[in-house]
Amino acid sequence: MGSLDTSREQMQDATGAVANRASTMADQIGQRVSSTADRVADRISGLPAAAQEKGRAVADSTKEVAGNMRDALTDSARSQPLTTIALAIGAGFLLGAIWKAGR
Protein backbone atom coordinates (compact mmCIF):
# COMPACT_ATOMS: atom_id res chain seq x y z
CA MET A 1 0.00 0.00 0.00
CA GLY A 2 2.96 2.33 0.52
CA SER A 3 3.74 2.63 -3.18
CA LEU A 4 0.07 3.28 -4.00
CA ASP A 5 -0.06 6.08 -1.42
CA THR A 6 3.20 7.50 -2.76
CA SER A 7 1.85 7.40 -6.32
CA ARG A 8 -1.34 9.06 -5.22
CA GLU A 9 0.59 11.81 -3.46
CA GLN A 10 2.81 12.32 -6.50
CA MET A 11 -0.27 12.61 -8.72
CA GLN A 12 -1.82 15.15 -6.36
CA ASP A 13 1.44 17.13 -6.29
CA ALA A 14 1.64 17.08 -10.09
CA THR A 15 -2.00 18.10 -10.39
CA GLY A 16 -1.44 21.01 -8.00
CA ALA A 17 1.64 22.09 -9.92
CA VAL A 18 -0.26 22.01 -13.20
CA ALA A 19 -3.13 24.00 -11.71
CA ASN A 20 -0.70 26.59 -10.36
CA ARG A 21 1.12 26.86 -13.69
CA ALA A 22 -2.15 27.23 -15.62
CA SER A 23 -3.27 29.90 -13.20
CA THR A 24 0.02 31.76 -13.62
CA MET A 25 -0.23 31.56 -17.40
CA ALA A 26 -3.81 32.80 -17.33
CA ASP A 27 -2.72 35.75 -15.17
CA GLN A 28 0.11 36.56 -17.58
CA ILE A 29 -2.23 36.45 -20.58
CA GLY A 30 -4.73 38.65 -18.78
CA GLN A 31 -2.02 41.16 -17.91
CA ARG A 32 -0.80 41.29 -21.52
CA VAL A 33 -4.30 41.81 -22.88
CA SER A 34 -4.97 44.49 -20.28
CA SER A 35 -1.67 46.21 -21.08
CA THR A 36 -2.43 46.16 -24.80
CA ALA A 37 -5.91 47.54 -24.19
CA ASP A 38 -4.41 50.34 -22.10
CA ARG A 39 -1.95 51.20 -24.89
CA VAL A 40 -4.79 51.29 -27.41
CA ALA A 41 -6.78 53.58 -25.14
CA ASP A 42 -3.76 55.89 -24.78
CA ARG A 43 -3.22 56.06 -28.55
CA ILE A 44 -6.76 57.12 -29.33
CA SER A 45 -6.42 60.36 -27.39
CA GLY A 46 -6.00 62.37 -30.62
CA LEU A 47 -9.21 61.07 -32.19
CA PRO A 48 -12.61 62.79 -32.12
CA ALA A 49 -14.65 62.28 -28.95
CA ALA A 50 -17.02 59.68 -30.47
CA ALA A 51 -14.12 57.54 -31.71
CA GLN A 52 -12.36 57.89 -28.36
CA GLU A 53 -15.43 56.68 -26.52
CA LYS A 54 -15.83 53.67 -28.82
CA GLY A 55 -12.12 52.88 -28.49
CA ARG A 56 -12.32 53.03 -24.71
CA ALA A 57 -15.44 50.85 -24.73
CA VAL A 58 -13.62 48.25 -26.84
CA ALA A 59 -10.59 48.40 -24.55
CA ASP A 60 -12.79 47.98 -21.46
CA SER A 61 -14.66 45.07 -23.04
CA THR A 62 -11.38 43.43 -23.97
CA LYS A 63 -10.14 43.74 -20.40
CA GLU A 64 -13.38 42.25 -19.11
CA VAL A 65 -13.19 39.31 -21.52
CA ALA A 66 -9.55 38.72 -20.57
CA GLY A 67 -10.49 38.75 -16.88
CA ASN A 68 -13.33 36.31 -17.47
CA MET A 69 -11.03 34.05 -19.49
CA ARG A 70 -8.38 34.16 -16.77
CA ASP A 71 -10.95 33.26 -14.12
CA ALA A 72 -12.36 30.41 -16.22
CA LEU A 73 -8.89 29.00 -16.93
CA THR A 74 -7.94 29.21 -13.28
CA ASP A 75 -11.14 27.49 -12.18
CA SER A 76 -10.73 24.82 -14.86
CA ALA A 77 -7.09 24.20 -13.95
CA ARG A 78 -7.97 23.72 -10.30
CA SER A 79 -11.08 21.57 -10.77
CA GLN A 80 -10.04 19.54 -13.85
CA PRO A 81 -6.28 19.83 -14.34
CA LEU A 82 -5.89 16.87 -16.71
CA THR A 83 -8.66 18.12 -18.98
CA THR A 84 -7.10 21.58 -18.94
CA ILE A 85 -3.74 20.10 -19.94
CA ALA A 86 -5.35 18.17 -22.80
CA LEU A 87 -7.12 21.31 -24.05
CA ALA A 88 -3.91 23.34 -23.81
CA ILE A 89 -2.04 20.72 -25.83
CA GLY A 90 -4.80 20.70 -28.44
CA ALA A 91 -4.86 24.49 -28.64
CA GLY A 92 -1.07 24.57 -28.96
CA PHE A 93 -1.18 22.03 -31.76
CA LEU A 94 -3.89 24.00 -33.56
CA LEU A 95 -2.02 27.30 -33.21
CA GLY A 96 1.18 25.61 -34.40
CA ALA A 97 -0.60 24.24 -37.47
CA ILE A 98 -2.08 27.64 -38.28
CA TRP A 99 1.31 29.29 -37.78
CA LYS A 100 3.04 26.79 -40.05
CA ALA A 101 0.34 27.08 -42.74
CA GLY A 102 0.74 30.87 -42.75
CA ARG A 103 4.47 30.74 -43.51
pLDDT at 44: 67
pLDDT at 1: 57
**Euclidean distance between CA atoms 1 and 16, whole angstroms:** 23
pLDDT at 46: 66
Tens digits of pLDDT across the chain (103 residues) = 567 777 777 777 777 777 777 777 777 777 777 777 777 767 766 667 777 777 778 888 888 888 888 788 778 777 887 887 888 888 888 888 888 887 7
**Euclidean distance between CA atoms 34 and 26, whole angstroms:** 12
**Euclidean distance between CA atoms 50 and 64, whole angstroms:** 21
Residue 18 · residue 81 · CB < 8 Å: yes
DSSP type of residue 47: S
